[in-house]
Structure 1
Amino acid sequence: MTVMTVPERPTAVLTATTTWADYPRVWKQLLGEVQAGVEWPAGGRQGRIVMLYLDDWPSVEVGVELDRPAKVGEGIVRSVLPAGRVAVTVHRGPYEKLGETYEILLCWCAEQGLKVTRTRWEVYGHWHEDPAQLETELYWLLAE
């Protein structure tokens, strides 16, 4: 875990305000639409998956990083991951355990005297069949 300052990172997303109970269904639908609506250069890989949580409802942006030029289809929103000072860590392992890593990150922030905002995001590494090889970057925007 560390604190760093990050620049804005461009994304292509769809937005929603949902409930935590409905979120597992909602994110899959949104992500599928974004992945179908972004056209990458021939032979190139897609940008990494991103999920930006703007508050605790959650109001979310689900999509992909635009780390290189891509054509964004109708209805897909060009957005950014926020710039600013963040607490960051990398979760290694199955996605079902992300909540545990978030709890550890929040405890670490409290121990360091860092105040978090409600804005946080995940950047998913490229898919691996072996869950132990999965990596997800967790960012929590800090209060100034």
Structure 2
Amino acid sequence: MSDVLVTAVAPRPTAVVPAVTTWAAFPRVWKGLLDQVWDELRAAGITRGCPNVMLYLDDVPHVEVGVLFSQPVPLAEPVVLSELPGGRVAMTVHRGPYATLGEAHDAVQSWCVAHGLPLAGPRWEIYGSHRDDPAELETTVYYLLTGPRE
């Protein structure tokens, strides 16, 4: 895993299915939500080029599962346009299997505590291109920050 960095990001448009779930149920439901988004995009003639994203708005969790997307095409509910937050973030790049992605979240949270940077709540993942070898997967993890600057 790379080091944790603090940077500013602009809001980024997404096409998502918003949901309220539990952490226990989320591993079983996210794929179905993402499939709904891709079904809509394929119906509009879009088959690739949109990285998958998962936005966790809080600890309930309220989530938005979908893709980075900015093309003007009609979408049918439950797929809606949304956006990833903009602002100051702490982020890292996780390289490896999704099963160890929690390590990246732990690293960012621990780093923020050690540096006195309060988390705003929303956090998200942007997934890199598919790779057959799990060791080659790359996921960028972002945490929106609040409070005073370093």
In structure 2, C-alpha distance between the alignment counterparts of 1:43 and 1:111, rounded to whole Å: 43
- Secondary structure class of the residue paired with 1:12: strand
Tell me which residue corresponds to 1:126. 129
Residues 1:78 and 1:100: Cα distance change in structure 2 (over 3 Å): same
Count of residue pairs the alignment pairs up: 143
- Secondary structure class of the residue paired with 2:49: coil
- After superposition, residues 18-57 of structure 1 pair within 5 angstroms as 18-39=21-42, 45-57=48-60
Residues 1:140 and 1:31: Cα distance change in structure 2 (over 3 Å): same
Which region of structure 1 is more displaced relative to structure 2, 76-85 or 43-52?
A: 43-52
- After superposition, residues 1-144 of structure 1 pair within 5 angstroms as 1-39=4-42, 45-66=48-69, 68-69=70-71, 71-75=73-77, 76-144=79-147
In structure 2, C-alpha distance between the alignment counterparts of 1:106 and 1:45, rounded to whole Å: 32
Tell me, yes or no, if the aligned pair for 2:9 and 2:86 is still in contact at 8 Å: yes
Residues 1:70 and 1:35: Cα distance change in structure 2 (over 3 Å): farther
Hey, which of these two has a bigger chunk of strand by percent? 1
Which region of structure 1 is more displaced relative to structure 2, 9-18 or 101-110?
A: 101-110
Flag structure 1 segments of 5+ consecutive residues without an equivalent: none
Tell me, yes or no, if the aligned pair for 2:58 and 2:121 is still in contact at 8 Å: yes
TM-score, length-normalised on structure 2?
A: 0.89
In structure 1, C-alpha distance between the alignment counterparts of 2:108 and 2:46, rounded to whole Å: 37
Q: Write out per-residue CA displacement over residues 5-29 of structure 1, whole angstroms, 9 at most, x where no aligned residue.
A: 1001000000100001110111111
Flag structure 2 segments of 5+ consecutive residues without an equivalent: none
Tell me, yes or no, if the aligned pair for 2:41 and 2:47 is still in contact at 8 Å: no
In the TM superposition, residue 42 of structure 1 has moved relative to its aligned partner by 6.0
Residues 1:9 and 1:86: Cα distance change in structure 2 (over 3 Å): same
- Secondary structure class of the residue paired with 2:99: helix
Residues 1:13 and 1:72: Cα distance change in structure 2 (over 3 Å): farther
TM-score, length-normalised on structure 1?
A: 0.93
